[in-house]
Amino acid sequence: MTFSPMPGAAPVLRQVGAQASMEARLMLRNGEQLLLALVIPVIVLIGGVAGADRVGLEFSRPTVDIFTPGVLALAVMSTAFTSLAIATGFERRYGVIKRLGTSPLSRGSLLAGKAGALLAVEVVQLVVLGAVGAALGWDPDPNLLAALAAVLLGTVAFASLGLLLAGSLRAEATLAAANLVYLLLLAGGAVVLPASAYGGFGDVARWLPSGALGEALRDALERADFSPRDLAVLAAWAVVGSVLTSRTFKWE
Amino acid sequence: MRYGDKVAVDDLSLTVDAHTITAVLGPNGAGKTTTLETCEGYRRPQSGSVRVLGLDPVRDRRKLLPRIGVMLQDGGAWSGVRAMEMLRHIARLHAHPLDVEMLAERVGLGDCGRTPYRRLSGGQQQRLGLAMALVGRPELVFVDEPTAGMDPKARRTTWELLEELRADGVTVVLTTHYMDEAERLADRLHIIDRGRLVASGSPLELTRGGGVSTIRLVVTEPFPPEASRSLKAALGPDTEVTQLDPVSLLVTGPADASTLARVSGWCDEHGVVPESLTLGQRNLEDVFLELTGRELGP
């Protein structure tokens, strides 16, 4: 073989595609990430549907119709926020971002690759959780455009917040903080349970990205409704998160 | 180049010729990595200028990056990624990458292609790092301590590979604190210490001159008592004689043909039979010691 120079960058789209498929594969192969992405949401969905009537939660519709969109929102949150934050934190720690920084991959392409990986994982989550929901009798009344808008805005909002965490803390601190925030939002963030189930706190929870995403997806999938207020809240979080991240993110 | 108040690299001027191997030699903490990272565009110098392939590494980074290959001192891969998977990924970012299978074979990654990065040995991680630096067919490669942590066989393979790169028209800049590595590979050598350039030249230029050489005398039977003192008396006050072991002596000082003749005369006179008598040159270790008053070692 010859090493005679023939340098050049691959076309940008091919670079982004390579980065996205690499990151998606790593996420789906990693045990803890898989736990967050699929196992916990499936358990929450099955457990929630089976246990809701026993703990006295009453809804106007079958519980599976309430829980499935909520669990889809949880899945988006776990991937775009927790998984992304942890993965990026360790990429900084292990010099991956530094290494890629000397390759032809630009930072913009790296971010685009990350976005592509998140969407790919979310598609897998949607298929699995949708199938589990269907098996439990989920009967949605969907507005697909509204659902898509909620997922995309939610992904951007949570991803920017995840990167905010990963770009300013050490890897271990990111791991701890990302899991803690995830648990707090799962319990009190109106993501799986509707904001109305939280009484007075529900109004506050709807201003959180978790509550806004949960409400937007429930509206979109339960009654084919478009929820401008929740989408606006998600957009606002996306803007705030992106601005803060771009100001504070340290690549190394 | 400063980090906070600490000046890591100061007033450092050096140039690298195309299609050669240039070594930046210095002890740990001398500023080797900082110098390299400034060339790679990671750091913007507070003063002075850097041009790599005619480009400003910070301003023209996007144009420069596809043309260079970089081997980091450590890390640079996801902990769960398999060795070949990582190499293939970097290959995909380039327009005309090398054949990854052949490259892996060439750097000696053969049987650990499916091993996750975190389970590779230090030497295997180094080899993967080198392969990642080369896969895009760069014009110029920066390799930071390429053989640290490698066994002797892997070191030789790496040296041969770097020589092959030069033969194929790739320019190589490497940092090292190994003398033998610099001496064997480098066409041109820059010795830096505490962020400053202390000497530049080819290994031969640097070890020649100064007028100091060494003569090593090995004999067949142990020397008589007081041999080193009597030899020193025979050679004159500018010379130092050190007994290394019962059968060998080291003479340092202005050693030339006449010194050699006097040493052999002394042997004749004292009835010792030389097994070998060799005139040696200063090595880079000696040069470094003279220039900085410090040992180079790691």
Domain boundaries, chain A: 12-248
- Tell me the CA end-to-end span of chain B in Å, nearest whole number: 23
Of B172, B191, B207, the position where a domain reaches its end is: B207
How many angstroms separate the CA atoms of A230 and A205, rounded? 11
- Measured between CB atoms, which of B77, B90, B138 is closest to A7? B138
How many angstroms separate the CA atoms of B202 and A37, rounded? 58
Contacts of residue B21, Cβ cutoff 8 Å, sequence gap at least 6: B162, B163, B166, B172, B173, B174, B185, B186, B187, B188
Q: What is the CATH number of the domain that holds B253?
A: 3.30.70.1560
Please give the C-alpha separations between residue B91 and each of B40, B59, B201, in angstroms, as whole numbers: 19, 25, 35
Record the tokens describing residue B292, joined without a space: 């900085």
Candidate ranges A230-234, B104-108, B253-257; pick with highest mean pLDDT: A230-234
Are A152 and A34 in contact by the 8 Å Cβ rule? The answer is no
pLDDT grade for B94, boundaries at 50, 70 and 90:
very high
> Do the chains contact at B85 and A22, CB–CB below 8 Å?
yes
Record the tokens describing residue A36, joined without a space: 């967050």
- More confidently predicted of B2 and B58: B58
Among A60, A41, A77, A73, smallest CA distance to A197 is for A60
How many angstroms separate the CA atoms of A197 and B186, rounded? 73
> Do the chains contact at A95 and B74, CB–CB below 8 Å?
yes
Residue B188 β-bridge partners: B22
Please give the C-alpha separations between residue B213 and each of A196, B242, B286, in angstroms, as whole numbers: 90, 14, 10
Residue A61 β-bridge partners: none
- Measured between CB atoms, which of B40, B66, B80 is closest to A30? B80
Q: How would DSSP label each residue in A58-95?
A: --SS-HHHHHHHHHHHHHHHIIIIIIHHHHHHHHHHTT
Please give, rounded to a whole number of angstroms, the shortest distance from the CA of B103 to a CA of chain A.
8
Please give, rounded to a whole number of angstroms, the shortest distance from the CA of A87 to a CA of chain B.
9
Instruction: Dump strand ranges (E) for B4-104.
Output: 6-7, 21-25, 68-71
Contacting residues of B for A11, CB less than 8 Å apart = 95
- Measured between CB atoms, which of A95, A103, A105 is closest to B75? A95
- CA-nearest residue to A93 within chain B is B75
- Measured between CB atoms, which of A3, A7, A94 is closest to B75? A94
Lowest-confidence segment of A108-122, A150-164, B144-158, B270-284 by average pLDDT: B270-284
Residue given tokens 């072991």 in the structure block: B245
Q: What is the pLDDT of residue A228?
A: 95
Are B179 and B229 part of one and the same domain? Answer: no
**Digit-coded pLDDT (tens) for A73-89:** 999 999 999 999 999 99
Contacting residues of A for B94, CB less than 8 Å apart = 7-10, 103-104
Among A212, A203, A201, smallest CA distance to A238 is for A212
Q: What is the pLDDT of residue B151?
A: 87
Residue B196 β-bridge partners: B193
Return the DSSP state at B224. Answer: P
Checking if the pLDDT of A136 tops 90, the result is yes
CA-CA-CA-CA torsion sign (B186, B190, B193, B194): negative
Q: What is the pLDDT of residue B17?
A: 82
Of B207, B229, B263, the position where a domain reaches its end is: B207
Contacts of residue B271, Cβ cutoff 8 Å, sequence gap at least 6: none
Q: What is the pLDDT of residue B7?
A: 53
Phi, psi of A208 (to 5 degrees): -80, 155
Pairing of strands B171-176, B140-144: parallel
- Measured between CB atoms, which of B70, B81, B93 is closest to A10? B93
> Do the chains contact at A18 and B106, CB–CB below 8 Å?
no
Q: Domain containing B94: what range?
A: 2-207
Of B207, B226, B259, the position where a domain reaches its end is: B207
> Do the chains contact at B106 and A1, CB–CB below 8 Å?
yes
Q: What is the pLDDT of residue A218?
A: 95
Checking if the pLDDT of A56 tops 80, the result is no
Record the tokens describing residue B172, joined without a space: 């190589």
- More confidently predicted of B212 and A136: A136
- Give me Rg for the CA atoms of chain B: 24
> Do the chains contact at B94 and A8, CB–CB below 8 Å?
yes
Pairing of strands B188-193, B140-144: unpaired
Checking if the pLDDT of B6 tops 70, the result is no
Mean pLDDT of B132-158: 92
How many angstroms separate the CA atoms of B168 and B184, rounded? 18
Are B235 and B155 part of one and the same domain? Answer: no
Checking if the pLDDT of B1 tops 60, the result is no
Mean pLDDT of A160-184: 95
Q: Determine, yes or no, domain membership for B293.
A: no
- CA-nearest residue to A110 within chain B is B93
Q: Determine, yes or no, domain membership for B99.
A: yes
- Tell me the CA end-to-end span of chain A in Å, nearest whole number: 35
How many angstroms separate the CA atoms of B43 and B35, rounded? 9
Contacting residues of B for A90, CB less than 8 Å apart = 78-79
Q: What is the pLDDT of residue B103?
A: 95
Phi, psi of B57 (to 5 degrees): -60, -25
- More confidently predicted of B32 and B127: B127
Question: In chain B, which residues touch A (CB < 8 A)?
Answer: 40, 42, 62, 65-68, 70, 72, 74-81, 85, 89-90, 92-96, 98-99, 102-103, 106, 132, 134, 136-139, 164-165, 168-170
Are B252 and B143 part of one and the same domain? Answer: no
Query: What pTM does this model have?
Result: 0.83
- More confidently predicted of A23 and B179: A23
Q: Determine, yes or no, domain membership for B139.
A: yes
Return the DSSP state at A53. Answer: T
**Domains contained in chain B, number:** 2
Are B184 and B218 part of one and the same domain? Answer: no
Q: What is the pLDDT of residue A99?
A: 93
- More confidently predicted of B18 and A113: A113
Q: Determine, yes or no, domain membership for B290.
A: no
Checking if the pLDDT of B295 tops 70, the result is no
pLDDT grade for B196, boundaries at 50, 70 and 90:
confident
Please give, rounded to a whole number of angstroms, the shortest distance from the CA of A19 to a CA of chain B.
8
- CA-nearest residue to A13 within chain B is B93
Pairing of strands B21-25, B171-176: parallel
Q: Which of A99, A114, A172, A251 is the mutation pick for testing B, counting most B CBs within 10 A?
A: A99
Contacting residues of B for A6, CB less than 8 Å apart = 95-96, 137
Mean pLDDT of A3-30: 95
Please give, rounded to a whole number of angstroms, the shortest distance from the CA of A61 to a CA of chain B.
44
Q: What is the pLDDT of residue B33?
A: 85
Q: What is the pLDDT of residue B281?
A: 65
Q: Determine, yes or no, domain membership for B170.
A: yes
Are A165 and A92 in contact by the 8 Å Cβ rule? The answer is no
Are B175 and B231 part of one and the same domain? Answer: no
- More confidently predicted of B273 and B256: B273
Residue B122 β-bridge partners: none
Are B173 and B98 part of one and the same domain? Answer: yes
Q: Determine, yes or no, domain membership for B287.
A: no
> Do the chains contact at A26 and B78, CB–CB below 8 Å?
yes
Phi, psi of B96 (to 5 degrees): -130, 65
Contacting residues of A for B99, CB less than 8 Å apart = 1
Contacts of residue A184, Cβ cutoff 8 Å, sequence gap at least 6: none
Q: What is the pLDDT of residue B212?
A: 60
Percent of chain A with pLDDT over 90: 82
Checking if the pLDDT of B38 tops 50, the result is yes
Q: What is the pLDDT of residue B205?
A: 81
